[in-house]
Amino acid sequence: MKKIGTVLWDGWMWFADKVGWINEHILLGVVYFVFIGIYAILYDLVLLLKAKPKSMWRNFEHQPNTLEALEKQF
């Protein structure tokens, strides 16, 4: 039985032979960026789910008003 990596590589080589090498590299880049995008979205969702909304709101309430902060600087 072949290892999963070998099977994936053989499948990718078969695909590259069918579509041509230039198209294969373009599609590889597209697949790469799609996976990065999916990972980034899932990572952000995990961070949002772990966040505590009450503590975030409390921190927001203690932020000084932007206009007041600017007036104090000048």
CA dist., res. 28 & res. 41, Å (int): 20
The more confident residue out of 68 and 26 is 26
Listed ranges 24-28, 58-62, 70-74; the one with the highest mean pLDDT: 24-28
Domain boundary assignment for the chain: 4-73
Mean per-residue pLDDT of the chain: 76
pLDDT band at 40 (very low <50, low <70, confident <90, very high): very high
pLDDT digits (tens, 9 = 90+) for 19-37: 777 777 788 888 889 999 9
CA dist., res. 25 & res. 12, Å (int): 11
